[in-house]
Amino acid sequence: MLMNKLHETDPEIYETIVNEVNRIENGVELIPSENFVSKSVMQAMSSVFTNKYSEGYPKKRYYGGQEHVDVMEQLAIDRAKELFSAEHANVHPYSGSPANHAVFFALMELGDKFMDMNLGSGGHLTHGSPVNFSGKHYRNVPYFVDRETELLDMDSIRKIAEREKPKMIISSLTAYPRELPFKEFCEICKDVDAYSLADINHIAGLVVGGVHPSPCSDTDVTTTTTHKSLRGPRGAIILSKVEDRLHDKYHPDSKKNLAQLIDSAVFPGLQGGPHNHTIAGKAVAFKEAMQPEFKEYARQIVKNAKALADELMSLRIKLVTDGTDNHLMLIDLRPSGLSGRGKQVQNALDRAGITVNKNSVPYDESSPFNPSGIRLGTPAVTSRGMKESEMQVIAQCIALVIKDYKDKAQQVMIKEDIAELVSGFPLYPDLTVLE
């Protein structure tokens, strides 16, 4: 890990790394967008590939000395295609937001209309938020979860699509705890001549693990981050069909197929040189996700999420949609008399050694800075080897904090209990203070 050299060169940065390792080792990570990569992924990311500029794509570069980069990137491409059963893969995007930006850039003109899940219903910033490029440069028509069931109403979504005739419809989630009906979204897209974009950044690991339906056989374009449940480095990929089924309607003057539109949008459209060290880490993560044990890992993520959700509900903690089908759940604090107290509860859980994030809940009247919800997920704790029994203990600790989030003395005691619980699940034991 080259930590000895770092300790000599920059002891201040070294200390922050050690402190972060200690925080991780002694607490519980429940933010659903976070996970822990393998040492192999970290080693690939710290390799000499970080030194190399490689504008362009394999065999079509602008700089010399690319023979080894080409092999590495082609491995990443081939593995991504095999892993997701995709026709085409672009492994360059720096992260999820740039990947989504590239899809807009490839398929849309400024001011074009698209449909997306409203942020408050569980959607993402890059799917139409007025403060984001997607909301500033394009016209978004949101769809919402049902106010009573808090579930997607596909009949309502179809009616909106037929009325609005968007150029693209996005199916995605960041805080929706149920399966996404990708086939139904694609059918609607075909009926209204809209591109279908599935953003599976949260559930990619569940998709390749076989515990969530995959969009890739039907959807025009699929984006995903490579971290989160896929357990790779911070980055993203874009998967797509090769042929553009809407070419004659939307791109009659272009000679590029859909795959070429995507590639040219990424480079030279929005990005310069790819981050080769990260692509190497992606390739390693894709190979790891192809192994049989990854399917068991994905199954355990869902088992753990259900166990955590069931225990919380048994302790009278309200969950949005009353449960989960995937890796995450959303606590609604309003029935506990804590409307707009998500930030305070998040901070209280931090003091108890439990890391979560505050989050809006459907039809939340409080601001996103002080929302009425808490978002939880199980990918990271599952990576440490925890199972259902540990989820029950964690749920009991969370419930205690929620019921009296101002009791700091209790939080100190809970933190000690959490430290004891996680001591049996070491993650990076050799990344501690050097002797």
Q: Is 228 a catalytic residue?
A: yes
Of 421, 361, 369, 362, the C-alpha closest to 395 is: 421
From residue 15, give the alpha-carbon distance in Å to each of 4, 225, 405.
Answer: 12, 29, 31
Which one of 25, 116, 199, 244 is the catalytic residue? 199
Residues 6+ apart with CB under 8 A from 115: 140, 141, 142, 143, 157, 160, 161, 164, 166, 168, 169, 170, 194
Which one of 34, 53, 303, 407 is the catalytic residue? 53
d(CA 126, CA 93): 15
Q: Is 136 a catalytic residue?
A: no
Contact between 196 and 186 (Cβ < 8 Å): yes
d(CA 328, CA 176): 8
Q: Is 94 a catalytic residue?
A: no
Which one of 34, 55, 153, 184 is the catalytic residue? 55
Q: Is 147 a catalytic residue?
A: no
d(CA 182, CA 78): 24
Which one of 225, 226, 321, 324 is the catalytic residue? 225
Which one of 234, 287, 351, 384 is the catalytic residue? 234
Which one of 228, 241, 306, 358 is the catalytic residue? 228
Q: Is 296 a catalytic residue?
A: no
Neighbours of 393 (CB within 10 A): 16
Contact between 62 and 56 (Cβ < 8 Å): yes
Using DSSP, state whether 120 is helix, strand or coil: helix
Q: Is 225 a catalytic residue?
A: yes
Block residue for tokens 């969950």: 319
Residues with active-site annotation: 53, 55, 199, 225, 228, 234
